[in-house]
A and B are shown apart, each in its own frame.
Chain A
Amino acid sequence: MSWTWFHKLASPPHAYRILGSLAPWFGWASLALILLATWWGLVKAPADYQQGDGFRILYVHAPSAWMSMFTYVVMAVAAGVGLIWRIKLAHAAAAACAPIGASFTFLALATGSIWGKPMWGTWWVWDARLTSELLLLFLYLGYMALRASFDDPQRADRASAVLALVGVINVPIIHYSVNWWSTLHQPASVTKFDKPSIDLAMLIPLFLMIAGFQLYFGWAVSRRLRGEILRRERNANWLKEAA
């Protein structure tokens, strides 16, 4: 079996070029989708019968919550690939994912909190979803702190990869335990997403926004990964030749 295509793809100069040509596509497509979804969500979609216009923050909150989980899984998969097959590019990708995932998590927490103010009258409630997001933020922060505390980038890569893998096994357990905890404590509370049916007109912009966020993720990862490659390969010949 030939793995040459794979190794070629994973070679830094090649990856650097490909990412450079991909990034603008991701960037413009995500901008277009996010603008479209924003217009659709804010103007075209009907107001909620219970929450009025306040629910519209859902169009930022739900996609960022989804992306925060998605990014963690991508990060852990990249870290695992890097650890097992010793591919530096995969470690670099994991490193590039972490701040993006942490930002998504933070955005989900912030929008959830802003949403909570009109709904519950306080900035923070120990709702299952928000609590899970908070714990996920802790996981991201721990990952980044561990990575930052090594001087040797290769040790940083491998140590943080072990942590990401332990973390990704734990994420479902944390999620489940928080849900369980929350239902025990607030059996009658209003949960945000359990409405019997959500109008299709409300759903379309949501999906558009999720797609836009995914593309944004692609753009952000491409750019950060290029930065990582430059930083890691600063002494390599191909870069000196290119400069």
Chain B
Amino acid sequence: MVVDGALFEAREINAWRGDRHILRDVSFSVRPGEFLKVTGPNGVGKTTLLRVICGLLPAEGGELLWRGKSIRGRRDEFNFELGHLGHLNSLKGDLTARENLKFLAGLRTTLTAQTIDATLDRVGILSRGDLPARSLSAGQKRRLALARLLLADAALWILDEPVTNLDTAGIRLVEELIVDHLEHGGLAIAAAHQRLLDDAPCLRRLELEP
């Protein structure tokens, strides 16, 4: 049984970290245009849940459904529709901002110089495009990682603490990007401590309890 209109659904996810049973029967569903914010105190399993969704951690029991079908055995297909922004920015300090996008975002979609420039402009670091990523500030690196997420052209965004290191303008940028993504029929699931779209109509909360 598929929840009405849900594009992504998690059913009774269980996960362990070493000896600790962190996620117990976590179920939720997300519709297009919805932003699911996962909240809870430190160590409650927010990152674990996001990594399980991405398949970066094995779940024990439970099922993930995408477009109404289980993703078991169709990981690569699902991954292509999934954009992930983790704790790590996945940048190479020795490569320029442009090269970083070309070599990483380029694995998913074919990029042109124009799309790269337009995206760098969108996240506000076009003027830094030819600097080695090493010389960018922490906030600029996060923006570059956001640019990679945009270029992935994915329907489902998985964001782990997306506004880390960002100033108020940066946080507003993330909110704009998410809203824009949702208006185009996308979905987003994020773990965040800070305020993030807290009063927006698209927001739904998933409170994890220890």
A and B touch in the complex (CB under 8 A): yes
Q: Does the CB pair A86–B18 fall under 8 Å?
A: no
Chain A 104-145 per-residue mask, 1 if CB under 8 angstroms from chain B, else 0: 000000000000000000000000000000000000000000
B185 contacts the other chain (Cβ, under 8 Å)? Answer: no
A152 and B58 contact, CB distance less than 8 A: no
Q: Write the B40-80 contact mask toward A (1 if CB under 8 angstroms, else 0).
A: 00000000000000000010000000000000000000000
B199 CB-CB contact with A under 8 Å: no
Residue pair B58, A86 in contact (C-beta under 8 Å): yes
Complexed CA–CA distance, A154 and B18 (Å): 7
- Is A24 close to B, CB under 8 A? no
Q: State whether the Cβ of A153 lies closer than 8 Å to any Cβ in chain B.
A: yes
In angstroms, Cα B18 to Cα A62, docked, is: 41
Instruction: Name B95-126 residues within 8 Å CB distance of A.
Output: none
B167 at the interface (CB under 8 A from A): no
Please determine whether B58 and A235 come into contact, CB atoms closer than 8 angstroms. no
Residues of B within 8 A of A151 (CB): 18
Q: How many residues of B contact A (CB 8 A)?
A: 4
Q: Which residues of A contact B18 (CB under 8 A)?
A: 151-154
Beta-carbon contacts of A25-45 to B below 8 Å, as 1s and 0s? 000000000000000000000
A91 nearest CB across to chain B (Å): 13
CB distance from A208 to the nearest CB of B (A): 45
* A152 cross-chain contacts in B, Cβ below 8 A: 18
- A: number of interface residues (CB 8 Å): 7
Interface mask (A203-243 → B, CB under 8 Å = 1, otherwise 0): 00000000000000000000000000000001100000000
Q: How far is the CB of A134 from chain B (nearest CB, A)?
A: 36
B19 CB, min distance to chain A CBs, angstroms: 5
Least CB distance, A178 to chain B, in whole angstroms: 38
Closest to A153 in B: B18
In the assembly, what is the distance between CA of A99 and CA of B18, in Å? Answer: 23
Cβ of A157 to closest chain B Cβ, rounded Å: 11
Q: Which residues of B contact A153 (CB under 8 A)?
A: 18
Q: Which residues of A sit under 8 angstroms from B58, Cβ to Cβ?
A: 86, 154
**Beta-carbon contacts under 8 Å, B76-101 to A:** none
Within residues 6 to 22 of chain B, which ones have a CB less than 8 A from any CB in chain A?
16, 18-19
> Within 8 Å CB of A234, what residues of B?
19
Name the distance in Å between A187's Cβ and chain B's nearest Cβ. Answer: 53
A152 to B16, CA, bound (A): 11
Instruction: List residues of A (145-187) whose CB comes within 8 Å of B's CBs.
Output: 151-154
- Closest chain A CB from B159 CB (angstroms): 26
Query: Closest Cβ of chain B: how far from A159's Cβ, in Å?
Result: 13
Chain A: minimal CB distance from B109 (Å): 31
| Complex contacts, A86 vs chain B, CB 8 Å | 58
Question: What mask results when residues 12 to 39 of chain B are scored 1 for a CB within 8 Å of chain A, else 0?
Answer: 0000101100000000000000000000
Nearest CB in chain A: distance from B23 CB, A: 15
Cα separation A152 to B20 with both chains bound (whole Å): 11
Q: Which residues of A contact B16 (CB under 8 A)?
A: 154
Complexed CA–CA distance, A86 and B16 (Å): 14
Please measure, in the bound complex, the distance between the C-alpha atom of A152 and the C-alpha atom of B17, giving whole angstroms: 8
> When chains A and B are docked, how far (Å) is the Cα of A21 from the Cα of B143?
62
| Known pairs A154-B58, A234-B19 / 7 extra A-B pairs, C-beta < 8 Å | A86-B58, A151-B18, A152-B18, A153-B18, A154-B16, A154-B18, A235-B19
Q: Chain A residues in contact with chain B, CB under 8 A?
A: 86, 151-154, 234-235
- Pull 9 A–B residue pairs with CB atoms less than 8 Å apart, ordered by A: A86-B58, A151-B18, A152-B18, A153-B18, A154-B16, A154-B18, A154-B58, A234-B19, A235-B19
